[in-house]
Amino acid sequence: MKIGSVSFKHLLVVQFVLGAMIPTLLLSGLLIAEFRDIQTDEQIKKQSAQTEKAVFQLAFELEKLSLQLEQLSLDSNAALAASSGVFAPSARNNLLNIAEQQPLASALLLLDNKYWLAEAVPVNAMVLPLTALEPALATLYAADYTATKQTLLLDAADFNQLLLAEATAPLSSQWLVMLMPLKLADTAVIDPRSKLTGALVALLSVQQIRLQLEHYTPDAHLLNIYWQDKPLLPATSEAQADSVITQAQLQVPGLDSAFTVTFATSRAVALQPITDLTYRFALLTALFLLLLLVAGWLFVRLEIKPIAALSHVVERYAEGDFSQPQQHFPFTEFENIAKVLHTMALKLNEHQQLLEGRVQQRTAELQRAVEDLNQMNTELVKTQQQLIESEKSSQIGILVAGVAREITAPVSSSVQALNALELHNMQIASAVKQNALKRSVFDNYLRDSKAAIEQLGHQLKRAEELIQSFKAIAVDQSFEQRRNFNLYDYLQSVVLNLRYELGQYQVKTDIQGDKIMVIQSFPGSFSRILTNLMLNSLQHGFERQQMHNIWLSYKLLADGRLEITYQDDGAGMAQQVQARIFEPFFTTAQQDGASGLGLSIVYNLVTQQLKGSIVCHSAPGKGTSFVLTLPVRVVIKPR
């Protein structure tokens, strides 16, 4: 992800959330771990204490039930209820009150001394089979007015069906029975005159005791209840391997020995509150983080809003809208930036208007300059054409003069030879006519005429060669047509044509290249290029008193183009001169009548006529070389 593609808003939100989340999570994790370590043992102890507390609480309730029953048994209305139906409602209300307060008792019974069930709560118990109770009741009744409250443990499966119908199997058939004698006395003192009218009986299922204990100890598993080492509950599941076994003594009022209750507390269950707390803490942390996220988003939104507005302002400035009024922002920093931007915009606006004025002015000036330049250029082009034409005329003149010069010598020599021959002929003819011809004279005549004829022939041949050469150059320069030509011969002929000019200097020319290669191109252009280069060397590079060389070589490059190298050992030129040599009318010998067009013509011929390129290498005192690279069609390939 590229930094540039990240939203600043998202970055701020991530920064905000991470800034809050990481410390929170680290701190939370540390605290939870510490807390868990500390609480583990505490929870185990707490579970153990809870089981003890549950047993104490149950013992208290049993004691309370016993006391309530005892108190009711002392109520004469209860005693009367055993012997008269008139008192039944009152007794029933009392029993209902106790039953409501003591759900531990599965049934509360009020019996008369003939085992008649006068009242029972719940009403189902009215039809309870009392066979199991009768021995205990008989013992109680036998004691008559001396009877006291008793508690006993009965195995009475008959009670289960009626009183524990809704309980789940397996059930314990053990029942705890509390017996309270009902006595009626005329006085406050129980004495032999007192009458035992019946008994109050509370039936407490061991099963119900178990349920109550389990209710009090939701985190512990009750394994069994023992009385005198005898288990009172059916076999239950074994304790888990990680369980902690605890025992507690349940004191039952009226019973000789206490119940022993065994609990198994699973460590996992014991630690459940811590686990729950951990989850709760995690949830709270998550909520807190969520709150932070929302808060972060809101804050960032609040922070980003002015940035976005500022960005919009900047965009408008960027679009050139400098006229927008200054925007106001809720934060000082943004307000300052907006203020600065607004000031900048105002100044930019001023500068822009100023610049626009200047640009318009400059544009008008440039427009005028361009127009002037165009006009000047037109004039220059015109002048250039005139000069080129003039140069052409000049070169034709040079050519004609050269032709005249070259032709003059052989023609003169031929005329002289012809005149001498004519003179000798006339002398011979006269001598013959006078018969004065002498052998010696005739021999001289023959010798002289032979020499004259030889000279004449030599001079005429020489003239013919010159004429052929001039003709060839003249034809090439006139037509500028592509044609096939032997490059070596052509370059030789060009050099030959410049023999007069070269004769003014002590110059040795050397042409290196394949002598049979024939190319198709514009030979006139080649001639004019070489002529100009050589005249340029003579005029600007050579001293008449010194011996100079001109080397001319050519070769075909791998890409098929022709490379011609022209080199002299003249004076060379400085770098600044070299940089301008192809410019038209640039010359360092204007005082000598140079036009400054020679190399410019060369450049134009190479680049425009021949579609090639030309490079100059030179340094003062090191001579000058030109390398021409020209596209040509090779007709006869070099060897």
For another protein, the binding residues (CB under 8 A) are 76-77, 80, 83-90, 116, 122-124, 126-127, 162
**Look-up of token digits 């010159």:** 466
Q: Which residue type occupies 10?
A: H
C-alpha to C-alpha distance for 106 and 95, rounded to whole angstroms: 12
Lateral strand order in the sheet of 624-630: 506-512, 547-556, 562-568, 624-630, 613-618
Q: Residue 502: which of 521, 479, 530 has the closest Cα?
A: 530
Minimum distance, C-beta of residue 157 to another protein, in the bound complex (Å) = 18
3-state secondary structure string across 388-430: HHHHHHHHHHHHHHHHHHHHHHHHHHHHHHHHHHHHHHHHHHH
Query: Measured from the CB atom, is 160 or 459 closer to another protein?
Result: 160
Minimum distance, C-beta of residue 195 to another protein, in the bound complex (Å) = 10
Query: Measured from the CB atom, is 16 or 87 closer to another protein?
Result: 87
C-alpha to C-alpha distance for 56 and 250, rounded to whole angstroms: 7
Minimum distance, C-beta of residue 175 to another protein, in the bound complex (Å) = 19
Minimum distance, C-beta of residue 49 to another protein, in the bound complex (Å) = 40
C-alpha to C-alpha distance for 153 and 252, rounded to whole angstroms: 10
Query: Measured from the CB atom, is 83 or 262 closer to another protein?
Result: 83
Query: Measured from the CB atom, is 93 or 311 closer to another protein?
Result: 93
Minimum distance, C-beta of residue 184 to another protein, in the bound complex (Å) = 8
Query: Measured from the CB atom, is 162 or 211 closer to another protein?
Result: 162
Burial environment of residue 65 by CB neighbours within 10 A (0 to 12, 13 to 18, 19 or more)? buried
Query: Measured from the CB atom, is 14 or 162 closer to another protein?
Result: 162
DSSP helix/strand/coil, 359: helix
- Per-state percent for the chain, helix, strand, coil, to nearest 5: 60, 20, 25
Minimum distance, C-beta of residue 304 to another protein, in the bound complex (Å) = 56
C-alpha to C-alpha distance for 398 and 403, rounded to whole angstroms: 8
Minimum distance, C-beta of residue 120 to another protein, in the bound complex (Å) = 9
C-alpha to C-alpha distance for 234 and 160, rounded to whole angstroms: 14
CB 305 within 8 A of CB 313: no
Q: Which residue type occupies 151?
A: T
CB atoms within 10 A of CB 310: 18
Query: Measured from the CB atom, is 83 or 521 closer to another protein?
Result: 83
Minimum distance, C-beta of residue 29 to another protein, in the bound complex (Å) = 54
Query: Measured from the CB atom, is 40 or 84 closer to another protein?
Result: 84
Query: Measured from the CB atom, is 114 or 438 closer to another protein?
Result: 114
Distances (CA, A) of 572 to 452, 491, 501, 615, 625: 48, 23, 20, 14, 9
Minimum distance, C-beta of residue 82 to another protein, in the bound complex (Å) = 9
